[in-house]
């Protein structure tokens, strides 16, 4: 089922990165198109920290917000009528980009003006949600320029991009990074095609830089079939993964993640029917999964829609506070 939100999910391209640190060129393929492990790197990987302990029974709710057209603060307006906990445990800023500099043949982290506005105004856009007990992540998305998570060809390059992500999280007081491997257009600008090692190496490097932050994976794109390398797997480093096909049930195949860290349910708030959303909630509860994914929250009051799901997951309706 092809997603119907292609145009909506595309993010504006721009001139320069908000974070200007560049990484080593990723456009020369090695003979086997794989990244050699870093000298001295250990094979034993501790289970990633950062996993949330939610205060409501029934698991965690995660919500993407298209900040090009909607306020991230909308996620904080919904609470459980019984108990008062926030409906959404994680709010995701959608989206920053991984761009490609054709002059330097390097990739850069880029925040378009709308994303930059949210980050620059963290005291009014991010901190109020965190003060409610919510976590705020920055989603990273391809931008049709050939740079992506799956075509780094050296650990040095992967580390340098991970450093950009880590620096951004630290500077803006974010709670982690979400990876969405869409719209990279691998091969554009003579960039490499995806290889088997790149994404796992990138996750490894980012986890070392952010040992206590959240790393999540939107289960889609080339990265979804490149989740193990050199005895390591994506589940060693990411905290959560969720289905990317809205209105459907599909379990992300991320080895190492328990049911409590997965969302097979995915809902587009603007287009998924109440009956489908409720059915997905029932499957989530009955099958013991711990995450429920929502996408595309706007300023419109949706507490009635949310209540249908919340009553199944949490035994409570939802209250909207403008």
Longest Cα–Cα distance in the chain: 59
> What residues does 108 pair with on adjacent strands?
99
Catalytic residue among 89, 175, 182, 204: 182
Cα–Cα distances (Å) from 154 to 160, 182, 201, 210, 288, in that order, read 10, 21, 9, 20, 39
Cα–Cα distances (Å) from 18 to 22, 101, 163, 171, 221, in that order, read 11, 13, 14, 12, 25
> Is 205 marked active-site?
no
Give φ, ψ of 14 to 5 degrees: -150, -170
The residues annotated with a catalytic role in the active site are: 182
């Amino acid at each position: 089922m092809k997603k119907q939100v292609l145009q909506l999910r595309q993010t504006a391209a721009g001139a320069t990165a908000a974070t200007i640190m560049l990484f080593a060129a990723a456009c020369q393929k090695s003979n086997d198109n794989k990244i050699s492990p870093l000298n001295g790197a250990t094979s034993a990987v501790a289970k990633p920290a950062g996993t949330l302990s939610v205060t409501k029974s029934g698991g965690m709710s995660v919500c993407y917000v298209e900040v090009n057209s909607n306020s991230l603060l909308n996620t904080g307006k919904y609470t459980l009528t019984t108990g008062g906990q926030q409906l959404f445990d994680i709010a995701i800023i959608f989206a920053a980009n991984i761009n490609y500099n054709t002059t330097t043949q390097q990739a850069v982290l880029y925040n378009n003006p709308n994303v930059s506005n949210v980050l620059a105004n963290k005291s009014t856009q991010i901190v109020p949600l965190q003060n409610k007990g919510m976590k705020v992540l920055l989603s990273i998305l391809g931008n049709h320029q050939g740079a992506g998570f799956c075509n780094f060809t050296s650990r040095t390059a992967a580390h340098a991009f991970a450093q950009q992500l880590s620096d951004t999280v630290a500077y803006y007081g974010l709670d982690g990074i979400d990876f969405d491997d869409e719209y990279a257009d691998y091969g554009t600008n003579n960039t490499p095609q995806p290889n088997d090692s790149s994404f796992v190496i990138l996750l490894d490097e980012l986890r070392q830089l952010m040992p206590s932050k959240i790393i999540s994976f939107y289960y889609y794109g080339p990265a979804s079939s490149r989740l193990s390398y050199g005895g390591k797997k994506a589940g060693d480093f990411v905290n959560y993964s969720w289905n990317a096909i809205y209105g459907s049930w599909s379990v992300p195949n991320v080895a190492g993640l328990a049911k409590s860290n997965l969302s097979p349910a995915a809902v587009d708030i603007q287009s998924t029917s109440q009956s489908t959303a409720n059915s997905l909630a029932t499957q989530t509860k009955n099958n013991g999964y711990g995450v429920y994914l929502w996408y595309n929250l706007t300023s419109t009051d949706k507490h009635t829609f949310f209540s249908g799901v919340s009553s199944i997951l949490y035994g409570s309706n939802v209250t909207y506070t403008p």
